[in-house]
Amino acid sequence: MTDAGVARLAGWVGDGGVVVLSGAGISTESGIPDYRGPSGVARRATPMTYQEFTRDPVARRRYWARSHLGWRTVGDAAPNAGHRAVARLQELAAVGGIVTQNVDGLHQAGGARDVVELHGNLARVTCLGCGAGSSRSELEHRLTEANPGFAPAVSAVNPDGDVTLDDDALDGFVVVDCTACGGLLKPDVVYFGETVPPDRVSRAFGLVMAARTLLVLGSSLTVMSGRRFVLRAAKEGIRVAIVNQGVTRGTPYAGLVVDGPLGAVLPEIVRRVEGPVAA
């Protein structure tokens, strides 16, 4: 992280018209590991796909058992200095909308508004039968009651809110279904094999196209779900700035890249933007 890079970034942000695209890296300082950054963990199993979840009862039971344990990490996580800095930049009218690839809800918990959650939110649950929605806290209460004493040893928490757990530790775990229709319950997140709802994508592109600067925070941009917004911004002549620790596939399209911890960089950007505003 260079002072020159931070100073230039503060100038861009101070110009206003910034839309944020955030990834898992902004939440690592809240205790949620990311996928590929220096504080992340290697994914020890293939992420759950929608097809597997809906068609394989054993895989579904495995998912809910692991997610039941992992939810404690995500559900108890608190917004960090990076989240709070983004919210403050919104208050200063430097940042407009936020598009996040994260499912932890920490932007909103940190005070942000106008957040497009591309991949949903783990705090919500939906029924695949009747479409009824419910809270994750309600489901956790039901799972705890259905599985008293279920507390196997956990070797690692994964970025998407479940844990690494031996299959033999899952014996006897009971999955609960929708109280309204008995249908399958699913976290309100986009699994591999699912498509992000078109209205969500359209809203995100709308924000990007109206921006002066697209500011990418904590994303390696490895998957197209997030990288497409960078590609569109670059094509349309919209400035792209990236703050991330480690390699990012967006570098060829960015006019400015700052390699550093978001919990340090973003509060400094706030401090520099606040100065002219206060003056």
Assess whether 119 carries a catalytic annotation: yes
- Cα–Cα nearest to 108, from 130, 73, 84, 127: 84
Single-letter amino acid, residue 42? A
Measuring CA to CA, which residue among 201, 212, 230, 199 is closest to residue 19?
Answer: 212
33 Ramachandran zone, left/alpha/beta (phi>0; psi -120 to 50): beta
pLDDT for res 279 = 47
- pTM of the prediction? 0.91
pLDDT value, residue 47: 74
Q: What is the C-alpha to C-alpha distance for residues 79 and 146, in angstroms, rounded to an integer?
A: 31
Note whether 139 and 88 are within 8 A (CB).
no
> Which parts of the chain sit beneath pLDDT 70?
1, 35-46, 155-156, 159-160, 276-279
Q: What digits encode the pLDDT tens for the residues 154-212?
A: 766 776 677 777 777 788 899 999 999 999 999 999 998 899 999 999 999 999 999 99
Give the residue from 263, 244, 241 showing the smallest Cα distance to 15: 241
DSSP alpha helix (H) spans, 192-261 = 198-209, 224-235
* Of 135, 90, 137, 136, the residue nearest 111 (C-alpha): 90
Q: Which two tokens stand for residue 126?
A: 């939906």
Give the long-range contacts of residues 45-49, CB within 8 A, separation 24 or more.
45/158, 45/164, 47/160, 47/191, 47/192, 48/162, 48/191, 48/192, 49/191, 49/192, 49/193
Question: What's the rounded Cα separation, in Å, for the pair 268 and 275?
Answer: 11
CB atoms within 10 A of CB 236: 11
Cα–Cα distance measured from residue 160 to residue 70, given in angstroms and rounded to the nearest whole number? 9
Q: N- to C-terminal Cα distance for the chain?
A: 27
Q: Considering the chain, what is the average pLDDT of its residues?
A: 91
Task: State the greatest distance between any 2 C-alpha atoms of the chain, in Å, as a whole number.
Answer: 64
> What is the per-residue pLDDT for 64?
94
**Is there a contact between 119 and 190 (Cβ–Cβ < 8 Å)?**
yes
Q: What is the pLDDT of residue 278?
A: 54
C-alpha span between 109 and 26 (Å, rounded)? 13
Retrieve residue 204's tokens. 């995100």
CA-to-CA distance for 77 and 73, rounded, in angstroms? 6
What DSSP character marks residue 249? T
pLDDT digits (tens, 9 = 90+) for 238-252: 999 999 999 999 999
> Which one of the listed residues 68, 83, 107, 119 is annotated catalytic?
119
